[in-house]
Amino acid sequence: MSDALTQTNKPDEKSLATEGSPQSGRAGGLLRSTLVRHVGLMLLALVGISLLLETVSPFRVSQLGELTYFIPAVAGLTVLTGLNGQISLGHGALMAVAAYTTSVLLDQESPLPFALIILIAVAITALVGALVGAAAARLHGPYLAGATLALAVGVPGLALYFEETLGGEQGLSVSPPRASPNFATFMADVTGESLSGQKFTAYLGWALSLLVLLLLSNLVVSRYGRTWRAVRDDEVAAELAGINLGRARVLAFVVSAACAGVGGVMIAIITRLTAPTTFTLVLSITLLVAIVIGGLGSLVGAIIGSLIVVFLRPFVTDLGAEGGLNAAQAANVAPLVFGIVLILVMLLAPRGLVGSVRFAYLTRQAARQAKAQR
Amino acid sequence: MKQFLDLSLSGLTSGFIYAAFALCLVLIFRATRIVNFGQGAQAMFTTYIALDVVQRTGNYWLGLLAALVSGFVLGAVIERVIVRPVETGPEINAVIVTLGVFIGLIALAAVVFGNTFEPFRAPFGLEGFQVGDTSINLTPTNVFNIFAVVVAMAALLALFRFTSLGLQMRASAFGQEVARLLGVRVGQMLTLGWALAGLFGSLAGILIAGGNFISPNFMDSVVVFGFVAAVLGGLDSFVGAVVGGLVLGLSLAYVQGYVAPELVTLAALGILMVVLLLKPGGLFSSSVARKV
Amino acid sequence: MLEISDLVTTYGPVKALDGVSISVPAGKITAVLGANGAGKTTLLRTVSGLVKSRSGKVTLGGQDITRTPVEGMVRLGMAHVPEGRGVIAELTVEENLRLGGLWRKDDDKAERMEEVYEQFPPLDKRRKLSAHTLSGGERQMLVVGRALLAKPKVLLLDEPSLGLAPLIVNQIFTLVRDLVDRTDLAVLLVEQNAKSALGIADTGVVLNLGRVVASEDAKTLLADEGLRHAYLGF
């Protein structure tokens, strides 16, 4: 029986090429080479993204920007739900925390340096994540879902309550950070055109996203990742092995909250408006759609899921508009499609894209090995 | 003092509706051990159908009937088509499926019925009753709401207690395999459970709508409140759901009046966390051990 | 009455039943014995349809019921009292019994309920009480009574003596024997307690690893020391 959670016991790595590689004698050596490999991948990706950003249309640039607020949040959520087994419907609310923190800090007369703002926002979100995680550590399944659902529905109310600071219904407008003169000149020299604000934001977002992915991919193969999986698969056995269940769960929550925080920072500076309407339940469920499509627990799946979500949205909205719907109605075609996709994936391929591919590959490999042994 | 009385009355009135909603969640949970997060969206959708009927016929009661019937049918269809394949699998799959229903139905309603707020007719007056020379916070519509919920609950109770169908449903919920051996068509009983839950949810939805505005998201908070109420009473208990609903209704009314209306949902979350951390089985945990 | 032919049931690669053939005639008790894991419970579960067989045939009164779904078996006259008894603890004694007779269209339901209460006085005392208050022996009485309310032609009993004191076991077995002698009921009795089972059975069938290794008259089986030692533990 396949379920969304059961991944094989292979560590989730960004590169499928490492599947089945023999364990080297020194664990430290293995880790270092994994780290090096991941850093290399990230640098390659950065170069690739830069090429893309410089060559595509402004619309695509904005989509590439949109990806940067999904990818960190989705990656963090897939680790939490896939690896550690905790389902959270409240990560949209966590993104809201970071977004509002960022907006408020940027709204000052002389705002702090942006790097510091990012750190503060992420730290605050991680703290909230620790609180939520501590409360949620003893909850399972539907109870956890219900509690985080309440969080997602309830947090926008805070923005309305603290109207003066948080902008109430209208929200806060955000002035995104500008590129430093050095970077701007550098980019202008390299590309031959001046660096647009939108592109700079995208670069920033991608740098952050790749950093998050790097950190997560190393965490996932580390002791922490193994602990999280153990807690998910068999609590009793994990406890008997000396694992502190509560601490492991809270840590997973904090890490995923921090990732959602990065996403929240990006959503503020990309959409330039932080209002309660951005952070409805639809956002939290969209994150869920992304991790389900990709396959729970897979970072590659998180990227694929984010890609699908971001590029599917305008596509179906346009379909709706062409079909005669007005703007408000067409905007709802995307969530409708997401709901249907969620149901279909659960019914037909609960392992998600990456999970199903991996399962098929490993099954075939096992069959081949069995045949070879006869 | 008057504010306290007004808030209490308002709390009781909403409490009954939360109780009705909690009842559907318990109904489904007892039968299939799934929490149907899509219940609110189902109720919202059928309320829109009712609105359509009311607008065409000018008759509230036909609208009510339409809501109940469509709720029943929608619940049955969702169970049979969407939930049945994931009923036996891991919990998380079913949770995700009901969330798909949640978001899908809301989006569908926005596309089909529009995204704006629509007024819904109230069946009776909306003026508070006069006691002496002041008016209290209880309207004829409120009284009707309470009456409707109580009647529905009594009907459900009678169904379960006194009919063979109810007996079969309970047997299916408590001992699926044994029930099958005894000839009970368990699959049909599960579908019936979801259908009845759908009916109840639709009742809650249309009662909330009376005299108010509806929008595709109008039942979002009610799902949360219904869930908290059900957990308060222990997800396994009907009586618990009713008491949980009333307790929650009152508590939230006081939060709304004395603290702030924007923080009501977070207050519900707070209550939920307190219950789950202190008495996870609810205030009335079922003491019957599932032994055979 | 009940004919089982070449029944094969598999759980994945494991053959729990490997071509089992048993005859369960009306008015007789056929005991199925053997060690743990021999396939006894799987046999009953396959016959009543809880588990799908790989191949083979089951007929009831000549009618092929191999592919009949579980829910239909009661209507065809087969009652299965499962392993662990199958009391629905959350319901009352009376409600449990009512479930037994649901499918009969007769008008004498109330009378027959009274008959069951007469036969099992402890149940009579606890009609409206929740079934979880019953002791092991009382539960066994409840499920047998419940099964009989369906007026079955064949009764499948899975380890009724499990967890019960010898006195109660005796009571229940005597009751079943008595019933079979009075009516035409066919009983397929699965038991670990081979000695007591053979005491009331007409035929004894020994299963080992999913196969029938002996099928004899009960008294003959009791007398065959070699067989007893090898498969039945006494």
Task: Express each pLDDT in B229-245 by its tens digit.
Answer: 998 888 888 888 899 99
Residues from chain A that touch B116, judged by Cβ atoms under 8 A, are 328
Higher-pLDDT residue of B109 and A62 is B109
Coil, strand or helix: which one is A64? helix
B34–A142 CB contact, under 8 Å: yes
Is C25 inside any structural domain?
yes
Select the residue of A3, A143, A161 nearest B90 (Cβ to Cβ).
A3
Total domain count for chain C? 1
Task: Express each pLDDT in C25-63 by its tens digit.
Answer: 999 999 998 887 778 889 999 999 998 888 899 999 888
Question: By the 8 A CB rule, do A360 and A12 touch?
Answer: no
Residue A134 backbone phi and psi in degrees, to 5: -65, -45
Question: By the 8 A CB rule, do B210 and B121 touch?
Answer: yes
Residue B112 has pLDDT above 70, yes or no: yes
Is C171 inside any structural domain?
yes
Quick one: tokens of A19?
């599947």
Which residues, 6+ apart, have CB-to-CB distance to B93 below 8 Å?
A3, A4, A346, A350, B86
Question: By the 8 A CB rule, do B38 and B77 touch?
Answer: no
What confidence score (pLDDT) does residue A28 get? 56
Chain C closest-CA separation from residue B82 CA (Å)? 23
Residue B71 has pLDDT above 90, yes or no: yes
Select the residue of A87, A150, A160 nearest B224 (Cβ to Cβ).
A150
B175–C86 CB contact, under 8 Å: yes
**How far is B208 from B18, CA to CA, in rounded Å?**
10
Which residues, 6+ apart, have CB-to-CB distance to C58 below 8 Å?
C2, C3, C4, C5, C7, C46, C47, C64, C65, C66
Other CB atoms within a 10 A radius of the CB of residue B69 amount to 16
Largest CA distance in chain A: 75
Amino acid letter, B254: Y
B181–C50 CB contact, under 8 Å: yes
What confidence score (pLDDT) does residue A8 get? 43
Residues from chain B that touch A320, judged by Cβ atoms under 8 A, are 111
Q: What is the dihedral of CA A23, A26, A31, A34, to 10 degrees?
A: -50
How sure is the predictor about B288, in pLDDT bands with cuts at 50, 70 and 90? very low
C71–B183 CB contact, under 8 Å: yes
**How far is B40 from B44, CA to CA, in rounded Å?**
6
Is C128 inside any structural domain?
no
Buried b (16+ CB within 10 A) or exposed e, B97-118: bbbbbbbbbbbbbbbbbbbeeb
Share of residues in chain B with pLDDT > 90 (%): 47
Neighbours of chain A (3+ CB pairs under 8 A): B
Question: By the 8 A CB rule, do A244 and A228 touch?
Answer: no
CB contact, 8 Å: A367 with chain B? Answer: no
Quick one: tokens of B117?
């707020």
Residues from chain B that touch A288, judged by Cβ atoms under 8 A, are 96, 99
Which residues, 6+ apart, have CB-to-CB distance to A287 below 8 Å?
A70, A73, A74, A77, A91, A92
**Which is it for the CA torsion A104, A106, A112, A118, positive or negative?**
positive
Chain B closest-CA separation from residue A201 CA (Å)? 31
Helices (H), chain A: 27-55, 58-78, 91-106, 114-136, 141-161, 163-166, 181-191, 197-221, 223-233, 235-240, 245-271, 281-294, 299-322, 327-331, 333-348, 352-373
Quick one: tokens of C35?
């060690």
Residues from chain B that touch C87, judged by Cβ atoms under 8 A, are 178, 292
Residue C210 backbone phi and psi in degrees, to 5: 85, 5
Mean predicted confidence (pLDDT) in C98-106: 81
Chain A closest-CA separation from residue B116 CA (Å)? 9
Low-confidence ranges of chain A (pLDDT < 70): 1-32, 374
Mean predicted confidence (pLDDT) in B250-274: 88
B168–C85 CB contact, under 8 Å: no
**How far is C152 from A220, CA to CA, in rounded Å?**
59
Structural domain for C171, as ranges: 2-88+151-232
Complex ipTM, two decimals? Answer: 0.89
What confidence score (pLDDT) does residue A18 get? 37
Residues from chain B that touch C72, judged by Cβ atoms under 8 A, are 183
**How far is A41 from B97, CA to CA, in rounded Å?**
35
Cα B196 to Cα B63, B71, B152, B160: the distances in Å are 18, 8, 11, 12
Average pLDDT, chain B: 87
CA end-to-end span of chain C: 31
Question: By the 8 A CB rule, do A334 and A313 touch?
Answer: yes
**How far is A126 from A146, CA to CA, in rounded Å?**
21
A347–B85 CB contact, under 8 Å: yes
Residue C79 has pLDDT above 70, yes or no: yes
Residues from chain A that touch B280, judged by Cβ atoms under 8 A, are 138, 143
What confidence score (pLDDT) does residue B292 get? 28
How sure is the predictor about B49, in pLDDT bands with cuts at 50, 70 and 90? very high
What confidence score (pLDDT) does residue B68 get? 95
The CATH number given to whatever domain includes residue C185 is: 3.40.50.300
Is C136 inside any structural domain?
no
Among the listed residues B246, B287, B222, the one whose alpha carbon sits nearest the alpha carbon of residue B19: B246
Lowest mean pLDDT among A124-128, C3-7, C116-120, C229-233: C229-233
Helix (H) or strand (E) holding C19: strand C14-24
Give the nearest chain B residue to C48 (CA atoms). B181
Mean predicted confidence (pLDDT) in B160-189: 90
A157–B99 CB contact, under 8 Å: no
Chain A closest-CA separation from residue B68 CA (Å)? 24
Contact between chain C and chain A (3 or more Cβ pairs less than 8 Å apart): no
Give the nearest chain C residue to B287 (CA atoms). C90
Select the residue of B164, B179, B289 nearest C132 (Cβ to Cβ).
B289
